[in-house]
Structure 1
């Protein structure tokens, strides 16, 4: 079975939140380098810092805000990177 090249997680999931799942993935050597994006409504600094510590490829805050498109670190930029990685897989 092939492993995914990109995963998108939400922080607010039942039973285990997305950051807990990501922590479990990162502890498995097979998934250490997996591209993982967080897409969430949480703009809490603690969530963003935990995601950064777990080496996320992007942290996308819903809903996407096109007002800041092109400014460094915008959620649209993170989403664009996610889409680029999906295209590379094909």
Structure 2
């Protein structure tokens, strides 16, 4: 599952049925010092926190009850591995920049 961030504060979900990976992709030209993405906190150049509640609200999310169950399972597994920030109710995501 990829959360794609584009210039102009546009955020959308791509590859929404790939529950084995979770990352945040920043496209070239996106200036992180001037962008504001509600529910996304950049920790550094490699890691971010993404609100658990944000992902199901993003454009690109399938409107499917099965997807909801699989997402809940992914969050549960992420919690088991220590990838959930309980205080912020957010999932740790790898940050990738693409040209």
Larger RCO (CA within 8 A; separation ≥ 6): 2
The two structures have a TM-score, normalised by structure 1, of 0.28
Bigger share in helix? 1
